[in-house]
Amino acid sequence: MTMKLHCFGESGNAYKAALTLQLADAEWEPVYVDFFNGGGRTPEFLALNVMGEVPVLEDGDIVLTQSGVIQDYISSKTGKLGGQSAAERREVLRWVFFDNHKVSSVAGNLRFLMNFLPEDKRNPDVIAFQAGRLKAALKVLEKQLDGREWVATENITIADIALAGYLYYPEPFTFDRADYPNIDTWLDRIAAQPGWKAPYDLMPGSPADRA
């Protein structure tokens, strides 16, 4: 049965789920959510996810929300992109949680504040504060990748996909790959995986559609 991922191209969290499906070679299809025109607030969508957010994964009668949960489900179902032991799975989840709390949450806010919020509402002090938080988190990731190919285990896992999700977006949000050589080569390594696609090539919806 083909899984359905409710998503839109601008969402880094949806991209993490979509890329996990893609790299796990799962059978799936995107379902576009017109988020910027209220698509996440319709009664039909809120019936799927009371949080009003993407991603939402439908697999038959199973409905899942939150990117980390969806990634873990895909990994468990396909037997791919997870740890090979209970200890490795805990290490994978440790880095997924680090991403969700320290990297994606900050990068996502920054990217929204700097690109999608009207210019007259952009607060430079908030942007500077968030940029500092992102820099600190990326320093941790840069250190973790020193001398190793993948974040959590000897193979690519959902932890790598989670942490990389927002870092492939082209809009400026104070992240420059040149500042992080280990992250830079790691992003290239992920992009070399069979089936990899950039966010706007993998999911429907992009800023160009709303220009």
Query: Could you give the residue range(s) of every CATH 1.20.1050.10 domain in the chain?
Result: 86-191
Q: Can you give the length of the chain in residues?
A: 211
Query: Could you give the residue range(s) of every CATH 3.40.30.10 domain in the chain?
Result: 3-81+196-210
3-81+196-210: CATH topology: Glutaredoxin (3.40.30)
Distance (Å) of CA 176 to CA 68, 108, 135, 179, 184: 25, 15, 10, 6, 9
Q: What is the pLDDT along the chain (211 residues), one digit of tens a residue?
A: 899 999 999 999 999 999 999 999 999 999 999 999 999 999 999 999 999 999 999 999 999 999 999 999 999 999 999 999 999 999 999 999 999 999 999 999 999 999 999 999 999 999 999 999 999 999 999 999 999 999 999 999 999 999 999 999 999 999 999 999 999 999 999 999 999 999 999 999 999 998 7
Q: Does domain 86-191 have CATH number 1.20.1050.10?
A: yes
Overall pTM surpassing 0.85 (yes/no)? yes
- The sign one gets for the Cα dihedral 101, 187, 202, 64 is negative
What CA–CA distance (Å, rounded) separates 22 from 195?
6
